Amino acid sequence: MVARAAKRLLGMSGVPPGDNARAYLWEKRLHPVMIAIALIALIAFYLTEFSHAADLVMIGHGLECLIFGVFFFELVWMTAVCEQKLLYLRRNWLDLVIVACSGLALLGVDAQWVAGARLLRLATVALLLTRALRPMRSLLTPGGLPYVGLIAVIIFLVSGAAFYWLEPTVRSYADGLWLAFVTGATIGYGDIVPSTTASRLFAVLITMVGLTLFSLVTASVAAFFVGEDEKTQRREMHRDLQRLKEDVARLFREEEALLLREMHADVRGLREELQRLRHELEQLRRSADGGRDA
């Protein structure tokens, strides 16, 4: 309930409950695309705001056009395929804000609130990355720990390169990797610190991602031990069930043997009773024949 309320508050509730199957299918199909756009949005933000090379700034603006087009298409298409269109827009108001702010930025509107919209886009990147972790529930299993570790290694390797590019005090890739690790792990030794606006903003993002990753690692380790306990309990339950089946089968055999003995005793009794009746009937018949002869 809390998670649903938070998604509704953040405008990321997705397709309304009870909508058609086609809407849910398209939401699932577009989810990996929007994850990729979230990563591209982060690159575009740095290229347009912190790069001094004209070619890189132009690439950043091109990526902004791509981001606007994809978000606009997703918003229009998902609204079209949903039956509850107004409810979908209310539940996903953040997409409306992203499309509006991206469009105004592309039109070249120069105002302070457009700069705020760019910061909102950066925050949206973090939110989309958080939303992208939803399908990673399968990693919270006893066998998911290696995958979580691999994802963490890849993210920190890329983050080290990013810090090496963004932070002037980082003299080598090894220092960038160290800064990425201590930032993501929220250790903060202080030997290397972000000094530029770009590296500080990136450090904020890495802190959020690092907290999520280390939480996943902790949850995966817990799931591993819980899974081992479940396996032990499952084996014990299987043994108990086998013993119960054997006891029930033994009881059935004993009951069946008892019933057979009782049936045999009853049959013998019936046979003896029948023999006695036949004997009495034979005597009565003889008596009747003797009376007629006399």
Residues in contact with 205: Cβ distance below 8 Å, sequence separation at least 6, in sequence order: 42, 122, 125, 126
Distance CA 124, CA 133 (A): 14
pLDDT tens digits, 207-231: 877 887 777 777 767 766 776 667 7
Distance CA 182, CA 102 (A): 33
Tokens of 68: 């606007």
Tokens of 66: 């791509």
Residues in the chain: 294
In the structure, what pLDDT confidence band is assigned to residue 77 with cuts at 50, 70 and 90? very high
Quote the strand ranges of the chain, DSSP E.
Answer: none
Tokens of 52: 């001094």
- Across 94-113, average pLDDT: 66
The amino acid occupying position 209 is: V
Which pLDDT value is given to residue 89? 87
Q: What is the DSSP letter of 139?
A: G
b/e map 243-257, b = 16+ CB within 10 Å: eeeeeeeeeeeeeee
The amino acid occupying position 267 is: V
In the structure, what pLDDT confidence band is assigned to residue 111 with cuts at 50, 70 and 90? very low
In the structure, what pLDDT confidence band is assigned to residue 119 with cuts at 50, 70 and 90? low
Q: Give alpha helix (H) positions in 167-196.
A: 173-184
Contact 150, 189 (CB under 8 A): no
- Across 177-205, average pLDDT: 85
pLDDT at 288 over 80: no
Tokens of 67: 């981001």
Helix (H, G, I), strand (E, B) or coil at 7: helix
- Which of 32-41, 60-69, 143-152 has maximum average pLDDT? 60-69
Quote the strand ranges of 178-260, DSSP E.
Answer: none
pLDDT at 16 over 60: yes
Helix (H, G, I), strand (E, B) or coil at 144: coil
Tokens of 125: 């990147």
Contact 15, 78 (CB under 8 A): yes
Distance CA 12, CA 18 (A): 17
Percent residues over pLDDT 90 in the chain: 5
Distance CA 134, CA 210 (A): 16
Distance CA 128, CA 117 (A): 16
The Cβ-side half-sphere exposure at 197, using a 13 Å CA radius, reads: 6
Task: Give the orientation angle of helix 54-81 with respect to helix 21-50, to 10 degrees.
Answer: 160
Top-confidence residue, 117 or 285: 285
Which pLDDT value is given to residue 178? 92
In the structure, what pLDDT confidence band is assigned to residue 80 with cuts at 50, 70 and 90? very high
- What are the structural domain ranges in the chain? 1-132
- Across 155-161, average pLDDT: 85
